[in-house]
Structure formats: C-alpha cells, structure tokens
Structure 1
C-alpha cells in the first residue's frame, strides 16, 4: 500500500498560506506608517505665542509641513511651567499627528521643581531631534538706575526685598534663573509668575516688575525700541545680536551660564518609521543656510542632533537640573 502523503502536502500548503497571510497583515499594518502623513499634524507648544519656543516652533513648522506635504499646525497650551502642554501630548494617540516642540531645558527644570510632576520627556515620549538653543539674558525697565550687573545687584540690595521680579511662569527656566540669582546675591523679592514672555514683558515695560530673565528672541524688539535695557547674557558666549552686552561671567558672576535647548518629541509608542521621517526632514531644515541666517537674526541658534543623541541629552539635562534644584532647595507644590 502506498503511503498516505496528504498530511505532509496539507502541512506544506498550510505553512505557505500562513506565511503569505502574515506577510499580508504586516504589509497592511505597516502601510499607515509608510503613507504618513495623510492629514495635518498638530505641534503643541507649552508656552503662549510670542515667546522663543513659539517663534522657533513656527519657524520650523512651515518648511516641515511643506516637506511632509501636510500642514503643521501650532497649538499653544501654556501654563504650569510647560506641564499643561506636555501632559496633553503625552495623552495623545502615538500616530504621528500630535508632536511636541519643546523647551527641553524648561521641561527638565519643571520636572525637578514640581513635587508631583504628572509626566516628563524621559518616560512618556520618544525623542525625535534636537533643533537648537536660545540664550537668556537679564532685562530691566530703563527707569532702574543700573547699567551693568554690579550696579543692578547693588540696586536690588538697596530695595531691602521691596521689589517684584517677573518670570515666564512657575517651574520655567526663567523662574529658576531668577531664584538662583537671588540666592547668589543674597536678596529676596516677590516673584511674579506669568504664562510666558508675552504676558510678562508688558508689565516689565510698564515698570510693575523690576527685572526678568528672558530669551533674546522675545526681548530683542523691546531692547531695540529702548523699552527694555539688557544687563547680561546668561550663557557661555555673547549674542551676536547684542555684542555689547557681556555674559554674566564676564560681568563678575562666574558659573552662571545655561544652554537653553529646544527639541522635538512624539508620544511614546510612535512608530520608528514616523520618527525617522520627522528626523530626516528636520535635519534638512536646520542645515539650510537661509534658515540658519533667518534664525540667527532672531537670536536663535539652530543645532541638529538625531533621535538617539537627543535621548542622551534629555537624560543628561534632567540629571543636571535635578541636582541644581536639589542643591538650591527650591520646590513648587
């Protein structure tokens, strides 16, 4: 009697069918990522319009949208040192249609300052690309009789705590810089937090607050118009746009410099295919000479790093600012 070979044949046919089915399913599942984007992308900014984060985000959004073939729409969600906007993106679907254009340094500081931070960039996000830095500086109302950092310190001390100073909000870099500055000079005033530069600067210009750490980008128009006076740059180098304004180190306060990083992130679970597409197009934008020149005129310094390097930088920034906040004993409930 001949052996019955049907089971073997059936097994082979079943195996082939399963392989084809798995390949087909994989192709179907991968198709949405390969075809992304098919609709506009929302880029959440955790600060209001008019500040450096918003300015940088809008500058990136237009060419990024052109490159991807879909609009990139900026959505401002300010408040709580950037935590409101950050939390909104963390809750978004990881489908590539919601991204976060972030002030990395601000978010690292907010995470360290808030005792119950709801989320952070390390645990709920995928790094996409570093996009650059924007230096901060001390600006004052011109009525303040101080032309440099030593004179400002002397004036602040003469007020015996009877003065207000502004910040971009509780938990922001602007806030922490001011707190560290007051500690360094042994002074105490009243901190007035705002929801970003665009809300803080009018009060500073009106004389309702004495000083503020702000971005060069947001303050520059008011400096040029004479409504604000720059005192010192809180960075390692002077700004090309304000060459006569010294760094804080050059004006006597050593080791007070900050690299104020900005970057793009996506919600955790976003496809590597989508992240790679975003990273590729962002690299092209940041290395374009015309874009770099345009940003330089706004006090923005484009700087690219890929997803992997941004992940490393994010971890390093969180570690750095956790140590600084702990040593300064500053907390926000």
Structure 2
C-alpha cells in the first residue's frame, strides 16, 4: 500500500508539474516584454520596432519595452537574445544584418541564425538609399563615381556599423563602380545621420525609413535607392541600376525572433500580436510613409526566408570582400 501510495503521489506530482507550466504559458504574458533592437535609437530598425512595440502592447495587455543594444553590426543585441531565457519575455527585432550577413561576415559567428532562434513574424522589407549632404558637389551617382575616381580614398562614407547591411551596400558599390571610399562605422543610423547632416561626413548608405524625413526636408540629397525598383515614396529617385551601377541590389528587412526553445504557444501569441500590429491601419500608414513595405508573414515563412537569405548573401559578401574577423 505504501508503495502504491508513493507511486500515486509521484504520478500526481508529475501531472501537476505538467499542468502548471502549461497554464503559465497559456496566461502569457503576465509581465512586460523586452524587445531588443540591436541598433541605436533613431535608425530604421528602431523606428519599426517602436511602432510595432506600441501596438503589440495593446494586443498583449502588457508593455513591450524597446531596449536599444547597439554594437557589432547588430550582433551584440542578437547574441543577448539568443542567450536569454526562452520564455517569450525577451525577443529580438532581427534584420538582414543579424540573420543573413553575420553568418558570412564572420569565420566564427557568435550565434546560428537558424538554430538559435524561434521565428515569430516577418514584418517589413526596407529599401536602402545612397544620400549625400546637400553641400556635396555630386548631384547624381554618375557625378559621385567621377569624383571618387578623381580623388581615390579622399572621401568617406557613413553606415550604421561594421558588418551592417549598409556597410555592405557601400562595399558593394565600391566594388561594382570600381571606386574607393573610406568607411566610417557608427552605432546605428541615428548617429550617422547626425554627422552627415552636420557636414562632418559627406556620404551615407542608410535605410530609407530613417532618411525619409531628412530627404524631404532638404537636409540630405538622395542619389539612388538600392532596390531594383524605385521607392513609391520617392518616385523621382533612380535605382542604382538605372544610375549605371549594373547588377547592384541590396535591401534590408525587419522580423521578430525569440530564443530557441520558446514554447510554441508563446510564439503563437507573439505572432498574433505582431501581425495585428502591422495590419493596424495607423501603423501601416506610418510604415508606408517612410518607405517600408509591409510583409506580415508568420513563423514558417520567416524561417524559410532566413535560410534563403543566408544562402543568397554569402556570395554577395564574398564578392564585396567584406569581412569582420
């Protein structure tokens, strides 16, 4: 009888242990959620992150708090999330930098973009833009190329950081246009824009959303977008290929990820809230105003996208000669 009672007690304990976590997960979230944006405030990823976080807070009934952890081309913040407790309370605003380029830029990447994360939602894709300070003499890409060829290594360009998509955009431009410029990395687009607008650095490769207002206000002059089609928000700005840089195409994207091992039901709740956020008319209108193209895809499509992007960008990184080791 004692053995039977002991066995029943063990069985009941196991049943309770199984039920309690499940209930806790079904009640998710019961506390604020941290959304790590792996770039400085003021950039494109930060802009998208804050718009989505505010709307997700309403959907989830808990605050989604943005935590900017800039550094190492997005890898600092991404690594922190990959190592976080897989409970859904720490998530990442991932980008092409963290989930496509890092795998090729480093011989020993600090994380695996596929194995170390659970996909939540693919939010938007974003064109990049080549822009200059309005006092800079080049009015077009053709004039910029001519100026750079006449004065090799005399000019510098800014980006949101070493190993970022914008760094790669600049290196690919140098390779295809056969010109030289010195790269000046910043910890995010925000600080880079401040120096370009202020005239300390003449040239920038940036995400279109963070440069939209400075371009509209005349603080920057857009020379070309980096996608194969013109941006709807700036129909008069040519593409790089139209401007004579054959074979040029880069862009970026923003997506949400959780640490690997996050329970599926938690991921499902985060997915539902994220997709509701980008479907909200007010959020969608604001995103479209700054040139972001809404995707609104779930975990399966995002996972497939990440795997495809890792493969797609490996030869581009090699061709550009960009390495972070």
Scaled by the length of structure 2, the TM-score of the pair is 0.93
> Does structure 1 retain, via aligned residues, the 8 Å contact 2:35–2:64?
yes
Partner of 2:80: 88
Partner of 1:125: 117
Could you tell me how far 1:328 is from its partner in structure 2? 2.9
Task: Give the SS at the match of 1:260.
Answer: strand
Partner of 1:3: none
Distance 2:219 2:251 in 1: 26
Stretches of structure 1 that go unaligned for 5 or more consecutive residues are 1-8
Distance 1:106 1:311 in 2: 14
> Does structure 2 retain, via aligned residues, the 8 Å contact 1:164–1:208?
no
Partner of 1:218: 210
Equivalent runs, 1:222-241 vs 2, <5 Å: 222-241=214-233
> Does structure 1 retain, via aligned residues, the 8 Å contact 2:130–2:224?
yes
Which one of 264, 274, 298 corresponds to residue 272 of structure 1? 264
Distance 1:196 1:246 in 2: 25
Equivalent runs, 1:77-226 vs 2, <5 Å: 77-226=69-218
> Does structure 1 retain, via aligned residues, the 8 Å contact 2:73–2:164?
yes
> Does structure 2 retain, via aligned residues, the 8 Å contact 1:125–1:268?
yes
Kindly tell me the number of residue pairs found equivalent between the two proteins. Answer: 325
Quick check: which has more Rg, 1 or 2?
1
Could you tell me how far 1:149 is from its partner in structure 2? 1.5
Query: Cα–Cα, structure 1 residues 239 and 106, in superposed 2: closer, same or farther, change >3 Å?
Result: farther
Could you tell me how far 1:213 is from its partner in structure 2? 0.9
Partner of 1:258: 250
Could you tell me how far 1:218 is from its partner in structure 2? 1.1
Could you tell me how far 1:214 is from its partner in structure 2? 0.4
Give CA deviations for 1:80-125 in whole Å, capped at 9, x if unaligned.
1001111111121111110001113454213321233211321211
Distance 1:164 1:107 in 2: 27
Partner of 2:22: 30
Compare 268-277 and 238-247 and name the one that shifted more: 238-247
Distance 2:92 2:131 in 1: 28
Could you tell me how far 1:20 is from its partner in structure 2? 5.7
Task: Give the SS at the match of 2:35.
Answer: strand
Partner of 2:294: 302
Query: Cα–Cα, structure 1 residues 161 and 259, in superposed 2: closer, same or farther, change >3 Å?
Result: closer
Distance 2:244 2:319 in 1: 22
Partner of 1:6: none
Task: Give the SS at the match of 1:131.
Answer: strand
Task: Give the SS at the match of 1:285.
Answer: helix
Equivalent runs, 1:12-91 vs 2, <5 Å: 22-91=14-83
Distance 1:151 1:25 in 2: 69
> Does structure 1 retain, via aligned residues, the 8 Å contact 2:97–2:163?
no
Give CA deviations for 1:259-299 in whole Å, capped at 9, x if unaligned.
41110000111110100111112222222333211211122
Stretches of structure 2 that go unaligned for 5 or more consecutive residues are none
Distance 2:6 2:108 in 1: 55
Could you tell me how far 1:12 is from its partner in structure 2? 10
Distance 1:130 1:243 in 2: 25
Compare 304-313 and 113-122 and name the one that shifted more: 113-122
Distance 1:249 1:123 in 2: 36
Distance 1:110 1:22 in 2: 42
Scaled by the length of structure 1, the TM-score of the pair is 0.91
Could you tell me how far 1:17 is from its partner in structure 2? 7.5
